[in-house]
Structure 1
C-alpha cells in the first residue's frame, strides 16, 4: 500500500505533467515518430503484475514457446533482435527496426504470447497490463550497451538468481552474435494453420562500437554483464539479502503477483540518456516533430495539401497521407 508521502509525490507529478502539456504552443499530439533503422528497448508487463511467465517445472516448454513467438514475429517484420529476457511478469527486448515496423511487430508478438499463454494455463483473461508497452531509445553506443546489460541481468537485479546465465526462463544470454537457434511450433498451435512447423531466430549485433568485430563486442558485453552481477551481489551482501534460487523459482505459480512497491502515474519515457544535455536534445527533436505533425494535421483538416514529417506511421498506413522522405 502506498504511503501518504508516495501519494503526495504522485499527485505532484500529475500536476507537473498537466502544466507541461498546457505550456505547448501547438495542439496536443498523441502520435510519435517511427524511423527506419531506429534502436529500441521494448518493455511490457503482465496484468496485475501476475507471474504469468513463471517457468515453474516446465521451463523448456515455456522457453520454446516464447522463442517461437519472438522468432516468428521478428521474421515477419524484419526486426533484428539484440537481446531479450522474459521475467515472470514482464519482458525486456532490445532491437533494431530497419523498416519502421515496430508497431505491427509488437502487436503480433504480444498477441501470440497472450493467446498461447492463456491456452497453456487454461485461462481466458487479459495477459498484458492495460498501461501498454514502454519503448525507449538511447542516443549513444555506451548507453545502448548498458541497456542490453540491464536486460540480461534483470533476474539478478531482482534477487532471483546469482548469475544471469542460470535464469530458467527465456533469455538470449550466452548467444553469440550471428548464432541461430530453432524453435518448434507448440502443440497448441493449429498444425493446419499458417504457423510454420519451426522457426529460427538469429541474434544480430546492434550497430554500436563499429571498431569492434562481433566477438570483441560480445566479450565487451559479457564483461559488463559480469561486472554488474558482481556489483549486485555485493549490494545483496551489504543488505543481508539472499537470492531466491532455482528450487524456489520452480515452485513459483503463475497466479501469484509481485508484492514489491511500484510507483504509479509516471511518464513513460520515449528517450533515455545518462547526460541531461543529450536527453534535452532528443526531447527537443521530438517536440519539433510534434509541431510539424500538428501543423500538417491542421492543413489536412482544412482540406489543404499536407505533407506529414518523416516517421509518421498511423496516418501513412491507415489514411494514406503524404509523408516526407526520411533523411539518410
Structure 2
C-alpha cells in the first residue's frame, strides 16, 4: 500500500513522469513540443496551477509547479492524459505511454531546494550527455532567463484534439510564474542563484564526459532518434520516491520536515482505522485529499506543526 501524501494549497513541487520502458516517445521534435506546451497551458489554466520550470526529455518529463488550490492530483491526471493520448496519435503508438510507477511529486520546502531542483531540471539534457549547455536543448523547456517572466506559446495540435470543442482553444499562452516564496524584488537574485547552480551542474557533466571519453550527442541528432528506440544508459532502480526536499546545508530543516510527514501519516492512519470501523464522524488531518474528494470525509483546516 502506498503512503498517504499531503496535498496542501500553495505547495510547490518537482514533478517527474517517465515513459514506459524508457522509449524515446517524447523525442524533442516540433510536433511533440507543441503538444506538451499546449497540454500544459490548458491544464494549468483549468486547475489554477502556476508553472515555474519545465524540461521534456525524450524518456521523461520534469515540471516545477505550485498547486495554488490544492488540486494537484486532478491537474496531473488531466495533463498526463492529454499528453499521452496526443503522443499515441503523433507516434502511432499502441499501448501505454507512461511508466507504471507513480508520478514523483517532491515538495520543495526552502529557497535552496527551489534553486537546486530548478537547476537540476534545466540541466537534465546536459547531464544525460545530449547537449553541452541547457539552452541548446530543442525540446519543450524553460531557459533560466525566462524564470518568472517568460511566456510559452502554442497553437492547438491538429492531432487528437477536436477543434470544435471549446475547451481546446486555437492558441494558448503559458506565463511562467515565480515560486510564491520568491518576492518580485528578489527575482533577479533568484535567477542568478539558479544560473550559478546550473553552471555547476553543467561543469560536473562536462567533467564526467571527459573522464569517460564521451562526446555530447548534439541537438540535431537528439531530435532524430527513433521514438521506438529505448534508452540503454544505466539507470538505478527507483527504490525511493522522496516526499520533500530542503536543499543542501539547511540545518535542521530536513529533520523538521521529516517529523511533519511522519506526524501526518500517523494521524491519517489513525483516522482511516476509525473510518474503516464505521465511524464517519472522524476528522482526517489537513492535506488529506483522496478521502475528502471521493468519500466526503471531514478534514481539519489546521496543518500539523512539529
Partner of 1:309: 285
Q: What's the CA shift string for 1:212-261, capped at 9, x where partnerless?
A: 53233223322332332233223322332211112321321100111122
Map residues 215-226 of structure 1 onto 2, 5 A cutoff. Answer: 215-226=188-199
Distance (Å, rounded) in 1 between the aligned partners of 2:101 and 2:146:
31
Deviates more, 1:168-177 or 1:125-134: 168-177
Secondary structure of 2:7's counterpart equals coil
Distance (Å, rounded) in 2 between the aligned partners of 1:60 and 1:235:
30
Partner of 1:279: 254
Whether contact under 8 Å (1:156, 1:232) holds in the other structure is yes
Map residues 120-139 of structure 1 onto 2, 5 A cutoff. Answer: 120-139=90-109
| TM-score when normalising by structure 2 | 0.91
Map residues 229-248 of structure 1 onto 2, 5 A cutoff. Answer: 229-248=202-221
Partner of 1:191: 163
Partner of 1:295: 270
Distance (Å, rounded) in 1 between the aligned partners of 2:11 and 2:135:
28
Offset at residue 155 of structure 1 (A): 0.3
Offset at residue 299 of structure 1 (A): 2.3
Deviates more, 1:265-274 or 1:167-176: 265-274
Secondary structure of 1:41's counterpart equals strand
Distance (Å, rounded) in 1 between the aligned partners of 2:255 and 2:199:
31
Whether contact under 8 Å (2:52, 2:147) holds in the other structure is no
Whether contact under 8 Å (2:285, 2:303) holds in the other structure is no
Whether contact under 8 Å (1:177, 1:215) holds in the other structure is no
What's the RMSD between the two structures over aligned residues?
Answer: 2.0
Whether contact under 8 Å (1:136, 1:269) holds in the other structure is yes
| TM-score when normalising by structure 1 | 0.85
Partner of 1:266: 239
Change in Cα spacing, 1:199 to 1:253, as seen in structure 2 (3 Å) is same
Distance (Å, rounded) in 2 between the aligned partners of 1:93 and 1:45:
12
Distance (Å, rounded) in 1 between the aligned partners of 2:270 and 2:303:
20
Offset at residue 64 of structure 1 (A): 1.5
Secondary structure of 1:213's counterpart equals helix
Map residues 168-183 of structure 1 onto 2, 5 A cutoff. Answer: 168-173=138-143, 174-183=145-154
Secondary structure of 2:53's counterpart equals strand
Offset at residue 137 of structure 1 (A): 1.7
Offset at residue 211 of structure 1 (A): 8.1
Whether contact under 8 Å (1:184, 1:198) holds in the other structure is yes
Q: What's the CA shift string for 1:290-326, capped at 9, x where partnerless?
A: 1111222222233332111000101111111111014
Gaps of 5+ in 2: none
Whether contact under 8 Å (1:84, 1:92) holds in the other structure is yes
Offset at residue 265 of structure 1 (A): 5.3
How many residues align? The count is 298
Secondary structure of 1:43's counterpart equals strand
Offset at residue 176 of structure 1 (A): 4.2
Q: Which runs of 4+ in 1 moved over 6 A?
A: none
